[in-house]
């Protein structure tokens, strides 16, 4: 025991001062994508052709990228020498409205659709039940990271609980396979209202790579209402943390 205590003092305080101080991302980190205004139609078309999930779509001369479908693989950035699409370092990706996940080559002003009342209900304490609905465990792993000393999710009053009857909200990962469909619906019903539903990862938002599979459902919101979408494959732990704190009004 004395060795454990000594080791803890030697390590010092390791919890990051988020959001006052943000973690340093690796060089490989791919954040929010954006369109290069100088790119030609051919450049954009070549980027669209390599997208594995059809996240990039075209309407006339205008292109759009749906972060809810995007795997952040970076292939659309690599294929074009002129970099028609560039992945920035911006990690704040969460949205309460699914339409806000769509990035357009011809940007439009986005209305603030923040839902009122959530801060008053869940702003001080939020208990969540996590459900893996057929995922690969990547999103689940990054959610688990939030409970480590480096992130310390509990200091914000947010905790994951073992039973839906103890929860204020539901966090869903994975493409919602047919085998998990009933489990999802039962878990949702077991949580008392008012409640939150949070879809984390491309699979939970749109079906991801499995959107064409007959044994998977194309997004959690095809079965139950969703209050927050956190895109990525998987999303960075700070992306998840930022989304959770934003939806309950702890940060803007």
Residue 111 pLDDT exceeds 60: no
DSSP 98: G
Single pTM value for the model: 0.90
Residue 114's pLDDT is 52
Q: What is the mean pLDDT of residues 19-31?
A: 81
Band of pLDDT at residue 220, cut at 50, 70 and 90 = very high
Band of pLDDT at residue 121, cut at 50, 70 and 90 = confident
Band of pLDDT at residue 117, cut at 50, 70 and 90 = low
Residue corresponding to tokens 């923040």? 114
Residue 124's pLDDT is 83
Domains delineated in the chain:
33-91 (3.30.70.20), 118-247 (3.40.50.12280)
- Residue 174 to residue 243: CA distance in whole angstroms: 18
Q: What is the mean pLDDT of residues 140-150?
A: 93
Q: What is the mean pLDDT of residues 45-73?
A: 93
List the single range of 90-94, 109-113, 236-240 with lowest mean pLDDT: 109-113
Q: What is the DSSP string of 77-96?
A: HHS-TT-SEEE-S-----BS
Q: What is the DSSP string of 175-202?
A: --BHHHHHHHHHHHHHSPSS-EEEEESH
Band of pLDDT at residue 137, cut at 50, 70 and 90 = very high
Q: What is the mean pLDDT of residues 210-229?
A: 92
- Residue 34 to residue 87: CA distance in whole angstroms: 6
Residue 115 pLDDT exceeds 70: no
Q: What is the mean pLDDT of residues 218-235?
A: 95
Residue 8's pLDDT is 72
């Amino acid at each position: 025991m004395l060795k454990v205590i000594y080791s803890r003092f030697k390590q010092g305080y390791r919890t990051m001062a988020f959001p006052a101080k943000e973690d340093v991302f690796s060089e490989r980190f791919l954040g929010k994508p954006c369109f290069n205004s100088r790119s030609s139609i051919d450049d954009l078309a070549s980027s669209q052709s390599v997208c594995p999930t059809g996240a990039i779509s075209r309407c006339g001369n205008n292109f759009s990228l749906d972060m809810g479908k995007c795997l952040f693989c970076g292939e659309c950035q690599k294929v074009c020498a002129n970099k028609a699409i560039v992945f920035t370092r911006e990690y704040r990706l969460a949205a309460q409205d699914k339409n806000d996940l769509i990035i357009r080559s011809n940007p439009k002003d986005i209305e603030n659709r923040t839902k009122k009342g959530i801060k008053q209900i869940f702003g001080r304490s939020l208990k969540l039940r996590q459900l893996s609905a057929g995922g690969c465990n990547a999103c689940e792993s990054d959610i688990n990271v939030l409970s480590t000393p480096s992130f310390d999710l509990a200091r914000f009053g947010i905790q994951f609980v073992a039973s839906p009857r103890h929860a204020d909200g539901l966090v869903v990962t994975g493409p919602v396979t047919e085998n998990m469909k009933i489990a999802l619906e039962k878990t949702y019903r077991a949580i008392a209202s008012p409640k939150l539903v949070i879809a984390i990862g491309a699979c939970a938002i749109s079906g991801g790579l499995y959107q064409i599979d007959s044994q998977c459902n194309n997004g959690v919101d095809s079965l139950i209402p969703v209050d927050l979408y956190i895109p990525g494959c998987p999303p960075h732990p700070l992306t998840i943390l930022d989304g959770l704190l934003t939806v309950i009004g702890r940060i803007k």
